[in-house]
Amino acid sequence: MPQLFIVATPIGNREDITLRAIKTLESVDFIICEDTRHSGLLLSHLGIKKPLKSLHAKSSPAQLEKLVENIKSVKKIAYISDAGTPGISDPGFILIKKCIQNDIKIVPIPGPGAFLALLSAAGLPMNEFFFAGFIPHKKGRQTFIKSLENRDHTVVFYESVHRFPRLLDEVQEFLGPNRYMVVGRELTKIHEEIFRGTVSDAQLHFCTENIKGEFSIAIAPNNFNS
């Protein structure tokens, strides 16, 4: 039976790759990835040379079908995303679902994930939380933020650097300036930063016009006491 290994890769620091992930990538017939150039750099760093096949958000149904047929013709294949655990905020779900429908065994190789990295260091309740991925850009955005007002558990999500200042304004407007939040910027990378404080504190802290990076945000439960 052909096997598709879902291999988590580092979100920044390449030393976060697991030994099992390395052994798996070394053993497969080929690797499916989002961006062959990006993944090629990681594999080169690890000293691994394998054929790469691309699967990204704009891949056609015909390309997906061809990939599945390729998987069925060999024994072991790996799927990696640009960073973190495949299937989270990337097209991996479509591939995995299609492989399950074709009786291809799915084998998870767990590892890094930005939202889990943030939660582990946030100091917020983790026994129950809601992960929202990337929140809506336009339609449904305000509705989502308003829905957090009376949540009694931690909510974590991603936001792009371009929309982050707008997000802070919206959170202040709909949840109030004193809502506690934790912001992870460039997690595991050289300029890693973890901010903890109120929304108004965050607006002052991140007021620079040249702020850069990738953001993971956790909103504390409504009655959280820091």
**C-alpha separations of 124 from 52, 113, 131, 138 in Å:** 39, 17, 14, 28
Q: Considering the domain boundaries, does residue 202 fall inside one?
A: yes
- Strands 193-198 vs 215-219: parallel, antiparallel or unpaired: unpaired
DSSP secondary structure code for residue 198 in this structure: E
Domain count, the chain: 2
CB 177 within 8 A of CB 159: no
Alpha carbons 149 and 146: distance in angstroms, whole number: 6
Q: Considering the domain boundaries, does residue 133 fall inside one?
A: yes
Give per-10-residue mean pLDDT for the chain (226 aa): 96 96 98 95 97 90 92 95 89 91 97 96 96 93 96 96 95 97 97 96 87 94 89
- Verify that 91 and 122 share a domain, yes or no: no
**CATH code for the domain of 130:** 3.30.950.10
pLDDT at 114: 96
Q: Considering the domain boundaries, does residue 226 fall inside one?
A: no
Last residue of a domain, one of 72, 92, 109: 109
Residue 54 φ then ψ, to 5°: -95, 140
CB 176 within 8 A of CB 169: no
- Verify that 90 and 38 share a domain, yes or no: yes
Per-residue b or e along 25-47, where b marks 16 or more CB atoms closer than 10 Å to that residue's CB: beebebbbbbebeebbebbeeee
- Verify that 131 and 193 share a domain, yes or no: yes
Domain that holds residue 136: 114-219
- Verify that 99 and 13 share a domain, yes or no: yes
77 Cα distance to chain centroid: 21
Last residue of a domain, one of 47, 79, 109: 109
With both helix axes pointing from N to C terminus, report the angle between 61-72 and 92-101 in degrees, rounded to the nearest 10. 50
- Verify that 93 and 122 share a domain, yes or no: no
Q: Rg of the chain over CA atoms, in angstroms?
A: 19
**CATH code for the domain of 63:** 3.40.1010.10
Alpha carbons 149 and 77: distance in angstroms, whole number: 44
pTM assigned to the model: 0.91
pLDDT at 107: 98
- Verify that 62 and 155 share a domain, yes or no: no
Q: Considering the domain boundaries, does residue 97 fall inside one?
A: yes
DSSP for 87-117?
TSSSTHHHHHHHHHHTTPEEEEE----HHHH
Q: Considering the domain boundaries, does residue 224 fall inside one?
A: no
pLDDT at 56: 87
- Verify that 119 and 90 share a domain, yes or no: no
Strand residue runs (E) in 20-80: 30-33, 52-54, 76-79
